[in-house]
Amino acid sequence: MNKLILGLAIFFGVHSISLLALRWRNLMAARLGIRAWRLSYSIAAAIGLYLLIRGYGAAREADSLLYTTAPAFRYLAAILMLPVFTLAFASVLRGRIAARAKHPLLLATMLWSTAHVLSNGTLANVLLFGSFLAWSVAVRVSLEHRPPRPPIALPASTTNDVIAVVGGLAAYVLVAFWLHARLFGVAPLAGM
């Protein structure tokens, strides 16, 4: 559990720099240069992600149950997950979806984490998915009070929306019916 908590602290600490210390972030980016700043940021985030994944795996083996949910919540989780991959793709493939969602990757993270908190009541799951949910909501609120930065994405087009929807639905099917069970040992739609 300690490795999971350390991973969460590092991962979200790095990802919260702009949320908590925007001026310091801008000073460091100017001092180091944007490429060096992004490299150091990426390395720290990767270390946090590695610890988070390893810690989550270990914590799941000796986990304690905090709550159980009704079987209907599995259906709700499946519905909440439906737009997640499309929104994630739309964050890079800019088009009308991204314009309407404003911050499609944050919205995808909110839906993904909510779906998992609703259907997984163990301590490790609540820590992991609850942290993602709290962080994504906090960042979304803070974006209303920060100067916008240009997105790192492809130029906007209607074709991007089509690719995001088709790719998102294909990814949903792939993950829900095959990959999730292979990677995490849980078949989310089995028996539905």
| One domain, residues 39 and 77 | no
| One domain, residues 36 and 93 | no
| One domain, residues 38 and 121 | no
Number of structural domains found in the chain: 2
pLDDT at 63: 79
| One domain, residues 55 and 107 | no
Please, which pLDDT band fits residue 1 given cuts at 50, 70 and 90?
A: confident
More confident residue, 52 or 153: 52
Q: Specify the pTM.
A: 0.87
- Given 62, 94, 114, which residue is the final one in a domain? 62
More confident residue, 152 or 68: 68
Identify whether the C-beta of residue 48 lies closer than 8 Å to the C-beta of residue 10: yes
pLDDT digit string, tens, across residues 74-89: 899 999 999 999 999 9
- Cβ partners under 8 Å of residue 119, min gap 6: 69, 73, 74, 76, 77, 188
- Residue-number span of the structural domain to which 144 is assigned: 65-192
| One domain, residues 104 and 174 | yes
